């Protein structure tokens, strides 16, 4: 077994660990999944693109910056997801 060391900021580490915990996997499991998917895809296992910066996205980013990564306040998740989905469908 080989060891990989990754440097990231504390907020990113904490937020990712919380998500992986909900999914029932460890940080190591998630990184191994990423590496295996990269091999299977012959590159990154997701599309790289510049995100849209609509009003909902801008508000979420500003709120995350103000809360220092402790959560998004004042953003209705269902509304935000519906709006993002609608915009994605408009692009097709």
Q: Say if CB 4 and CB 31 are below 8 A apart.
A: yes
Q: Are residues 76 and 37 part of one domain? A: no
Domain tally for the chain? 2
Question: What digits encode the pLDDT tens for the residues 13-58?
Answer: 999 999 999 999 999 999 999 999 999 999 999 988 766 767 777 7
Residue with tokens 């103000």: 66
57 Cβ contact list (under 8 Å, min separation 6): 51, 84
Return d(Cα 37, Cα 54) in angstroms, integer: 30
Across the chain, what does the average pLDDT equal? 81
- Identify the band that residue 62 occupies on the pLDDT scale cut at 50, 70 and 90: confident
In this structure, what CATH number is given to the domain that contains residue 40? 1.10.1220.10
pLDDT reported for residue 90: 66
Question: Among candidates 80, 77, 16, which has minimal Cα distance to 54?
Answer: 80
Q: Are residues 40 and 10 part of one domain? A: yes
Q: Are residues 8 and 32 part of one domain? A: yes
Q: Are residues 43 and 66 part of one domain? A: no
**Domain of 65?**
55-91
């Amino acid at each position: 077994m080989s060891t990989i060391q990754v440097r990231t900021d504390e907020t990113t580490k904490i937020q990712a660990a919380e998500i992986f915990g909900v999914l029932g996997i460890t940080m190591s499991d998630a990184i191994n999944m990423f590496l295996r998917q990269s091999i299977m895809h012959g590159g990154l296992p997701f599309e790289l693109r510049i995100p849209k910066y609509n009003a909902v996205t801008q508000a979420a980013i500003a709120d995350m910056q103000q809360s220092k990564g402790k959560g998004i306040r004042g953003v209705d998740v269902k509304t935000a997801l519906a709006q993002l989905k609608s915009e994605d469908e408009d692009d097709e």
